[in-house]
Amino acid sequence: MAIGRRERVRAWFDAQLRPDGEGRTGLGSVLAAALRASGYGAVGAGFGILALYTIPIAVLVGFLSLLGAGRFLVHPTMQWVRMLAGLERRRLLRLGHDVESPYAGPDAELPRSLREVRADPSARRDLQWVFLHGTWGLIIGAILINMPFVAVRDATYPLWWAFAPSSEQQILSGMIEAQTAPAAALGFATGIAVCALWLLFGPKLLDLQARPGANLLGPDPDIDLSERVARLTATRAAALDAHAVELRRIERALHDGAQNRIVAVAVLVGAAKREVPRDPDKAVEILGRAQDTVEDALAELRAVVRSILPPVLEDRGLAGALNALASDCPVPCTVAVDVPGRCPASVEATAYFVVAESLTNVAKHSRATSASVEVTRRGNTLTVAVVDDGRGGADAGAGSGLAGITRRVEALDGTATVTSPPGGPTEIRVELPCGS
């Protein structure tokens, strides 16, 4: 019985130290996870303090609005609440929760009265999160911050308790008085126990702290889906348009390039055939021209194939493909890729196209002396940013290659933003949903 109990306990600890049930991690990985939980828990606790101070303000504004004296305070209060919720969404994104903002954009209309707040489900959900995070989230954050300090203090308590003033002779944050040697020895045991709890359950506490935000800060599942349907309809139309544009581009590339060169090869071969009996040297010269034309046609065919789905993506992955693009760019370019694993092929191809078109624009139009490419994946969003120090003034609506970037990105339900003030710098930022 005792052996079976020990085996069950050992199996339980092994399960706690395995990520997703696969290869067992070391103590260093468990410690890193606990430290990460305390770090993000501390950030969440900071937001919790802000939320805690927001609660009485929101209640006071609501009460004054009912009396008809606080209507003008609703708009700034909700603006603060929305900003605080946006900060939490950023934290959740770093924790792996892809919480989509329920607002159309940063300039979405804010409620200006208590009636508008009641009619806006997203505003109500933001307020619910404020109340939960200012209480529940703050308490969990305080626990996550306190656990490693309590563990270190209590584990070392037997070494220094005799030199501490009587008011400080206590363990477990003052919950237990420890003014004797046996009680001090108990401090070592409590310190080890708190450390074990922190290592094993710190990430789970962080998940509990993040859960209200993950559940409340996204779009309301009961809201009217007409806007989403309209957006998907427009996205589908954009995808079909982008597909048609690509087919026309490929057709033109084949018709105007490779096909014409192959026709020229046929003409040259016919001319060489007629010259063989009369002037063999001239026939050899014509055949040489035909060979050069065939090589040009093959190069154009390879370029068309690469533009459809670059083989370098399959061979070297996204990071290798983008480094190859940067090495071919005449403007010095740095590449930073932080993408764990592989993304869907369509997403990688679109990211490759965005960088290729952006670097082409940099080389042709920007007069830049340097450029940088940064690709990151956070949660289910792949972000591509291309920045150059050129003259600026790029306009995505002027029918340039930037319009093609926008079409390709919108076809995948992504977003593309071009920031290019006169004088520079120019930044092209693209966000692509890439699934789980």
pLDDT over 70 at 13, yes or no: no
Asked which of 258, 280, 308 is the last residue of a domain, the reply is 308
Say whether both 95 and 181 belong to one domain.
Answer: yes
Residue 250 lies in a domain: yes
Beta bridge partners, 373, equal: 335, 386
Q: Are residues 270 and 147 in the same domain?
A: no
Q: Which domain holds residue 49?
A: 27-216
* Cβ neighbourhood burial of 387 (10 Å; 0-12, 13-18, 19+): buried
Same domain, 186 and 268: no
Query: What is the pLDDT averaged over residues 39-50?
Result: 93
Q: Could you tell me if 127 and 249 lie in one domain?
A: no
Which residues have a Cβ under 8 Å from the Cβ of 157 and sit 6 or more positions away?
Answer: 171, 178, 184, 187, 188, 191
**12 within a domain of the structure (yes/no):** no
**370 lies in a domain?**
yes
Residue 306 has a pLDDT of 59
- Please tell me whether residues 189 and 239 are part of one structural domain: no
Structure tokens belonging to residue 248: 């026309």
On whether residue 88 sits in a domain, the answer given is yes
Q: Looking at the structure, tell me whether residues 236 and 322 fall in a common domain.
A: no
CA-CA distance, 184 to 196, in Å (whole number)? 19
Q: Is the CB of residue 81 less than 8 Å from the CB of residue 126?
A: yes
pLDDT at 296: 79
pLDDT tens digits for range 398-416: 555 677 788 778 777 788 8
129 in a domain, yes or no?
yes
Comparing C-alpha atoms, which of 52, 46, 59 is closest to residue 88?
46
pLDDT in tens, 149-182: 888 888 887 887 777 777 677 777 767 777 777 8
Q: What is the pLDDT of residue 403?
A: 75
pTM: 0.50
Note whether 61 and 133 are same-domain residues.
Answer: yes
- In angstroms, the CA 169 to CA 156 distance is 12
95-135 pLDDT, tens digit each: 888 888 887 554 467 888 888 888 888 888 999 999 999 99
Helix axes 280-308, 260-275, angle to 10 degrees: 170
Q: Rounded distance, CA 373 to CA 329, Å?
A: 12
3-class DSSP assignment, residue 295: helix
Residue where a domain stops, chosen among 308, 330, 352:
308
| 18 falls within a domain | no
pLDDT of residue 7: 61
Tell whether 20 is covered by a domain: no
157 φ, ψ to 5°?
Answer: -60, -40
Among 308, 341, 362, the domain boundary falls at 308
The count of structural domains within the chain is 3
Q: Does residue 146 lie within any of the structural domains?
A: yes
Q: 170-171 and 333-338: which strand pairing?
A: unpaired
The CATH number given to whatever domain includes residue 328 is: 3.30.565.10
Averaged pLDDT score across all residues of the chain: 79
Are residues 384 and 281 located together in one domain of the fold?
Answer: no
Q: Is 51 in the same domain as 182? A: yes
Q: What is the DSSP letter of 351?
A: H
Residues 326 and 427 in one domain: yes
How far apart are the C-alpha atoms of 281 and 358, rounded to whole Å?
48
Q: Mean pLDDT highest for which of 43-47, 311-315, 422-426?
A: 43-47
pLDDT of 16 strictly over 60: no
Cα dihedral 87, 410, 218, 114 sign: positive
Q: What is the mean pLDDT of residues 277-293?
A: 80
| Distance, CA of 73 to CA of 259 (rounded, Å) | 69
- Judge if 103 and 45 occupy the same domain: yes
* pLDDT category of residue 6 using cuts at 50, 70 and 90: low
